[in-house]
């Protein structure tokens, strides 16, 4: 195969509401954390283990505005996009890197009732609230 491919497909729950930024030229960008879970049973103890991975999601322009209007913390969404790593300089002058998923397509998957239940579970475990995002055993897969 001579080409390359950069494609990500994720189904997860919003860890926070969408943070919007609007530009002078009329464009906009929305950012939110997305939680995906992996569950398995520990063979020695029989205990169910759930690991949560947090993804930085970026949506642009009209898609960002639609997401802001209809999505809230806890909602379940399917996204397709590309992995993008940004380099920036921190306040201390050192280079920093952020890995993000730039969304091309998305589909809303939850009803408002489901979203309310998941939102309360995410409240204590969201990176924005200072909770430990690796201990989310109660989150739905």
The model's pTM is 0.74
Separation CA 29–CA 67 (nearest Å): 10
Whether 135 shows a pLDDT value over 50: the answer reads no
Asked if residue 19 is part of any domain, the answer here is yes
Q: Which domain holds residue 60?
A: 8-123
Asked if residue 2 is part of any domain, the answer here is no
Asked if residue 131 is part of any domain, the answer here is no
Asked if residue 138 is part of any domain, the answer here is no
Tens of pLDDT, residues 31-81? 999 999 999 999 999 999 999 999 999 999 999 999 999 999 999 999 999
Number of domains forming the structure of the chain: 1
The 3-class SS string of 94-136 reads CEEEEEEEEEEEEEECCCHHHHHHHHHHHHCCCHHHCCCCCCC
Domain CATH number, residue 12: 2.40.50.140
pLDDT of residue 134: 36
Asked if residue 94 is part of any domain, the answer here is yes
pLDDT of residue 110: 82
DSSP symbol at 68: H
Tens of pLDDT, residues 82-128? 999 999 999 999 999 999 999 999 999 987 665 555 555 555 455 55
């Amino acid at each position: 195969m001579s080409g390359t491919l950069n494609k990500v497909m994720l189904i997860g729950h919003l860890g926070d509401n969408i943070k919007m930024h609007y530009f002078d030229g009329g464009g906009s960008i929305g950012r939110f954390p997305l939680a995906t879970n992996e569950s398995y049973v520990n063979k020695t103890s029989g205990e169910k283990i759930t690991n949560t991975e947090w993804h930085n999601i970026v949506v642009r322009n009209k898609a960002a505005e639609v997401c802001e209007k209809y999505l809230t913390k806890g909602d379940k969404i399917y996204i397709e996009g590309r992995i993008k790593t940004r380099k920036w300089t921190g306040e201390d002058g050192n280079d920093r890197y952020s890995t993000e998923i730039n969304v091309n397509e998305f589909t809303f998957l939850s009803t408002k009732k489901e979203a309310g239940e998941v939102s309360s579970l995410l409240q204590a475990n969201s990176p924005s609230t200072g909770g430990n995002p690796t201990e989310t055993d109660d989150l739905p897969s």
